[in-house]
Structure 1
């Protein structure tokens, strides 16, 4: 009994200090900044401008990295002035330990500006778990149309790079249509040209909408070139207005997947207020109908969990016990009880009970 009593304090000390992941990470990273018990970390090894306003970082990843599937998105976490900030980006896997992170610098964007202007070779960034289902892998369709606008090219490039790297691109009839404002804003042009020569079934077009002889934006004529779409898979990424147009125009496709990297909500004309009850916290709020539920709760000093704020990552998703919501990107109404709702892209049309 005496021996057991002497061991217990030692075991308690070990479990509360030596085996605490935060302490282990702290001391391990004194030796190697990439070492971690539980974090997916990367070290910037290269930085280059790939188009006007677009930067690519080559990042060496640690052994904890979950690379996901080409076309998915990763949360990227950086520390700026003592604050941990998270944004979502597509990654391209280059080899066994390196990824390419390509992003567009956004005016007033804290993270993109820091990555473009302040981040240095050797700096460490953290990744979250990948998510998203806009990917070629796992689908049988081999006639594929890729639609990209602006930085929506990054998941498309990731998918194409992976297919080319594994030799699978030859098995696809792949067409990429890529919209930018000016030709110098088009990223990866040389690589697309190389692939078009290497793989005859891969074709691409770049549309510059604000250069001389401005190209038309996505419209019915771009659809007519494909005739019967019932055997095609269509992937679209860009601003939500572009994605909504693509969804309407290519509705006949056998498979349609899309993601919007900016939220351009349809104007909410609903007036008045509703009551939102948060079941777990037993809080009740009166919120306006013309706001997303997330924004309305934040205005009421509530702090729900969220991620991308664009309806992609599902971090803000919760169970809607009762009530009617309206999707602010397409005006679709959802009245089914007991269904998930992403509060960043839905407004309340009636009184709600949420499992929050």
Structure 2
């Protein structure tokens, strides 16, 4: 079967084929081309795609991890309701089967091709389960693979465990797949109640320090798990986590004392747009104010959807994720992680 061809830049239109409830606060759905022959989607397990959905007359973009496996004819995602989650809550409540959405190609450095050993721990909480579920299913589907997998997941209560029955089935069918679930409220289940402390991790998986680890979940959860794994003696060279925090800047700051005033101009010749902003302002905010068509999905320098080129002017940046060395040399930046330090001229093409 032929592969789906992702464009190098820009979005494609895919249709929501199926949608169903996973828990009372989360839904899963699949995406595929609207018409034509079935095509397989290629990506690395653990990666995300960026969805563009029109809400109240405005296109909103967000990055979501894939939970399906590569080389299938539909992409699967699972989205959980979150407080003030404009796009997530729209998807849970209003996305319909047959609805068209915009999609940017898979991206992200949190994936299964990172070096790892024959024993791995997959740790997740809440909807952070999606990328590690993709990893687990991919490894188990490969009959030539003998990786031993210990899947450790944290949730609030048993009816909020995403993919609960699927995890149980996977453990029954594969001797090399082990599942441990920790619940804040374990009522109605046989699972342990509490939080994933060092002691709990060691109890679940006595050899966890000898494993490679892939971690995804809320920021606080990931910080605690990383600290726990370090304390248990894990080799952090084979520890990976999904990060939505931009890397620290490697570019020296431009001295603000050399600036004649605190205002700078952002000019986008392609659209004849110009806007005034303050020195140090984030470029994406200025571009949105100028009403030019720029996509901002993660807003943290991870997904690469807001890539553009600075053709004139001085700037600093906090992330170059997804940019190649050649692109960096040519002045490409991620607008959400670029700070204007002088008048800038921007190319979006």
TM-score where L is the length of structure 2: 0.67
Q: Secondary structure at the match of 2:217?
A: strand
Query: Which whole-Å CA distance do the structure 2 matches of 1:103 and 1:345 have between them?
Result: 25
Cα distance in 2, alignment partners of residues 90 and 301 from structure 1: 30
Does 1:207 find its partner at 2:177? no
| 1:180 to partner: Cα distance | 1.0
The runs of 5 or more residues in structure 1 that have no matched partner are 1-33, 264-272, 328-337
Residue 248 of structure 1 and its aligned partner are, at CA, apart by 2.2
Tell me the residue number matched to 1:129: 105
Contact in 1 for aligned 2:125/2:153 (Cα 8 Å)? yes
Distance 2:211 2:163 in 1: 24
> RCO (CA 8 Å, sep 6+): is it higher in 1 or 2?
2
Pair 1:230–1:109, CA change in 2 (3 A): closer
Aligned to 1:238, which of 206, 217, 227? 217
Q: CA deviation at 1:72?
A: 0.3
Secondary structure at the counterpart of residue 114 of structure 1? helix
Please state if 1:218 is matched with 2:196: yes
- 1:160 is aligned to 2:150: no
Q: Gapped runs of 5+ residues in structure 2?
A: 247-255, 269-273, 320-328
Shift of 1:167: 2.9
Q: How far, CA to CA, are the matches of 2:237 and 2:146 in structure 1?
A: 18
Query: After the TM superposition, which of the residue ranges 304-313 and 119-128 deviates more from structure 2?
Result: 304-313
Q: How does 1:167-182 map to 2 (within 5 A)?
A: 167=143, 171-182=146-157
Aligned mates of 2:60, 2:237 — CA distance in 1: 38
User: Does 1:257 pair with 2:240?
Assistant: yes
Do the aligned residues in 2 keep the contact of 1:230 with 1:254 (CA within 8 Å)?
no
C-alpha distance in 1, partners of 2:201/2:332?
33
Q: In the alignment, which residue of structure 2 is the partner of 1:82?
A: 57
Per-residue CA deviations over 1:67-90 (Å, capped at 9, x if unaligned) read 311110000112233322211112
* Cα distance in 2, alignment partners of residues 131 and 36 from structure 1: 11
Q: Corresponding residue for 1:307? A: 297
Any idea what the Cα deviations from partners look like across 1:7-58, whole Å, max 9, x if unmatched? xxxxxxxxxxxxxxxxxxxxxxxxxxx9999853322222110112110112
Residues of 2 paired with 1:123 and 1:308: CA distance? Answer: 23
Residues 105 and 94 of structure 1: is their aligned pair in 2 closer, same or farther, counting only changes over 3 Å?
Answer: farther
Q: Is the 8 A contact 2:41 2:70 kept in 1?
A: no
TM-score (norm 1): 0.66
Q: 1:182 to 1:106 in 2, by over 3 A?
A: same
Across the aligned residues of Structure 1 and Structure 2, the Cα RMSD in angstroms comes to 4.4
Q: Compute the displacement of 1:138 (Å).
A: 5.3
Bigger radius of gyration: 1
Contact 1:133 1:257 in 2 (8 A): no
Alpha-carbon distance in 1 for matches of 2:287, 2:6: 34
Work out the number of aligned pairs and report it. Answer: 298
2: CA distance, partners of 1:147 / 1:36: 30
Distance 1:319 1:278, change over 3 A: farther
Could you say if the C-alpha distance between residues 345 and 144 of structure 1 is closer, same or farther in structure 2, counting changes exceeding 3 Å? farther
What are the residue-to-residue correspondences of 1:1-356 with 2, within 5 Å?
A: 39-61=11-33, 67-91=42-66, 92-93=68-69, 96-137=72-113, 139-167=115-143, 171-212=146-187, 215-225=193-203, 231-251=210-230, 252-260=235-243, 286=278, 293=282, 306-315=296-305
* Residue-by-residue CA offset, 1:206-248 (whole Å, 9 max, x unaligned): 1111444972323222454556666521111111111122222
CA contact (8 A) 2:22 2:28 kept: yes
